[in-house]
């Protein structure tokens, strides 16, 4: 057995569906190690996978730096840490980057900060600040980048990208299109604040306002338009790159941050929109740590909160993993909680972040270390904040 860098190894067998890979990924995370090698044969400068294809794709999905390979399958016990499991999420300590794509990816991990106003003798509350992502100032930079590069890798990326978005994914994709000389046409629901159109047009995107109130309701129309126009519809609601980027980066970097500070998480709370980031966090931490409570946050019936929606509106990944509880929050509760954090912590956070804070306050058991995922900042939500001031 020897360890070789991932880029040296090529696999010519098609990647299995995500659902098929999850049991193997689950075992690897639970054990924190790999039991077998990946058999390879040499062809020129590359090593070609000749078996154990599922293990190859499980490890590359998790983002290891090295693969355990051999001439045939061998039994081994190699720790994830020895495979460079955390290497890609350690970031650049001097924070100097060659280009804006490096600014995103090598700028991770995003900060994790203790919120004194919500902490007590019984509980420490930590906020994961996704507003530090540079393009949309939100967690959606991760999926915008990963869906884009995954489509390019597969040869499926056309000159124009179509996407239904409430704001942040659209900004992320418009940024990716601008960087790569592509065009973006973004479909925005009628219920979303008008300033979104300005942000997207500044980045060079075409904006189409739809009569729908929820982004997901526009998907079929976007599919039809993309097929008609020969454009790429990345579709954040169905694209497994959404889940994979959070499994490979968001969850792993949070894990690294907690381990570096000797923190054991007791609960993770976050909003559910596409369900990508919270489903990946649930899958990762329940396998890696075991006894971690995971709580999703959705709008109360009849309420609209930008960035999150109710489970019954249709979500892909939430049904593949385990959530302990789903908490309902009203728009007014979300807004007032965002204002409270601004006035007590000095952080102007978005409305889905406010919803996460309110969900935490509604929990009966508040002990240990609780992680709140704050998806974005509050600067895009002026029109809604204004109504409550």
Tokens of 60: 């590359």
The number of helix segments (H) and strand segments (E) in the chain equals 13, 17
Q: CATH number for the 140-233 domain, one of 2.120.10.80, 3.40.50.1100, 3.30.70.100, 1.10.3720.10?
A: 3.40.50.1100
Predicted structure pTM score: 0.97
pLDDT of residue 193: 87
H or E element, residue 267: strand 267-271
Phi, psi of 249 (to 5 degrees): -115, -65
Domain residue limits, the chain: 2-83, 100-137+241-387, 140-233
pLDDT of residue 31: 98
**pLDDT attached to residue 365:** 86
- Tokens for 158, please give them: 């056309």
Q: How far apart are CA 40 and CA 194, in angstroms?
A: 55
E strand residue ranges, 80-170: 112-114, 123-129, 160-164
71 near 258, Cβ under 8 Å? no
Strand partners, 9: 47
Do 176 and 153 touch, CB atoms closer than 8 A? no
Which contacts qualify for 27-31: CB closer than 8 Å, 24 or more apart? 28/58, 28/59, 28/62, 28/80, 29/62, 29/284, 29/287, 29/288, 30/287, 30/288, 30/290
Nearest 5°: CA angle at 277, between 273 and 283?
120
d(CA 142, CA 179) in angstroms, rounded, equals 15
Backbone dihedral angles phi then psi of residue 52, each to the nearest 5 degrees: 55, 45
The CATH topology of domain 100-137+241-387 is Rossmann fold (3.40.50)
- Domain 2-83 belongs to what topology? 3.90.1530
* Fold agreement between 100-137+241-387 and 140-233: yes
- Which portions of the chain are predicted below pLDDT 50? none
The confidence score (pLDDT) of residue 274 equals 97
Sorted by sequence, the CB contacts under 8 Å of residue 341 that are 6+ apart come out as: 115, 117, 347, 349, 353, 354, 357
Q: How far apart are CA 144 and CA 167, in angstroms?
A: 12
First and final C-alpha spacing in the chain: 64
CB 6 within 8 A of CB 65: yes
Q: Is 378 in contact with 338 (CB distance < 8 Å)?
A: yes
Helical H segments across the chain, by residue range: 18-31, 53-62, 100-105, 140-153, 168-180, 195-202, 219-229, 241-245, 251-260, 276-288, 331-345, 351-362, 382-387
pLDDT at residue 45 in the model? 84
CA distance 270 to 277: 8
Residues present in the chain in total: 389
């Amino acid at each position: 057995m020897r360890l070789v860098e991932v880029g040296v190894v090529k696999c010519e067998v098609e990647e299995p569906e995500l659902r098929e890979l999850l049991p193997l990924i689950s075992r690897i995370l639970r054990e924190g190690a790999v039991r077998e090698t990946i058999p390879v044969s040499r062809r020129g400068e590359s090593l070609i996978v000749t078996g154990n294809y599922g293990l190859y794709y499980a490890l590359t999905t998790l983002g290891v730096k090295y693969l355990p390979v051999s001439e045939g399958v061998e039994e081994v016990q190699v720790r994830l840490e020895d495979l460079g499991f955390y290497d890609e999420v350690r970031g650049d300590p001097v924070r100097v980057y060659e280009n804006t794509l490096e600014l995103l990816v090598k700028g991770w991990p995003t900060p994790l900060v203790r919120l004194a106003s919500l902490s007590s003798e019984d509980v420490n509350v930590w906020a994961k600040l996704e507003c530090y992502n540079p393009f949309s100032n939100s967690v959606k930079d991760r999926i915008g980048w990963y869906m884009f590069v995954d489509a390019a890798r597969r040869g499926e990326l056309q000159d124009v990208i179509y996407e239904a978005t409430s704001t942040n994914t659209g900004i992320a994709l418009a940024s990716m299109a601008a960087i790569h000389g592509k065009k973006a046409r973004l479909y925005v629901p009628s219920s979303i604040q008008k300033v979104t159109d300005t942000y997207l047009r500044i980045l060079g995107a075409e904006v189409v306002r739809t009569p729908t109130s929820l982004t997901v309701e526009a998907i079929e129309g976007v599919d039809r338009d993309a097929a008609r126009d020969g454009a790429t519809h990345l579709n954040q609601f169905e694209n497994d790159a959404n889940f994979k980027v959070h499994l490979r980066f968001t969850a792993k970097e949070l894990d690294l941050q907690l381990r570096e500070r000797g923190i054991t998480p007791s609960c993770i709370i976050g909003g559910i929109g596409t369900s990508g980031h919270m489903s990946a966090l649930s899958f990762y931490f329940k396998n890696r740590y075991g006894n971690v409570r995971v709580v999703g946050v959705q709008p109360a019936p009849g309420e609209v909160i930008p960035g999150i929606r109710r489970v019954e509106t249709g979500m892909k990944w939430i049904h593949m993993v385990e959530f302990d509880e789903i908490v309902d929050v009203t728009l007014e509760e979300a807004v007032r909680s965002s204002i409270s954090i601004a006035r007590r912590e000095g952080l102007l956070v978005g409305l889905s972040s406010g919803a996460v804070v309110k969900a935490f306050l509604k929990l009966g058991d508040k002990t240990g270390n609780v992680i709140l995922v704050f998806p974005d900042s509050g600067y895009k939500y002026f029109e809604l904040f204004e109504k409550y001031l």
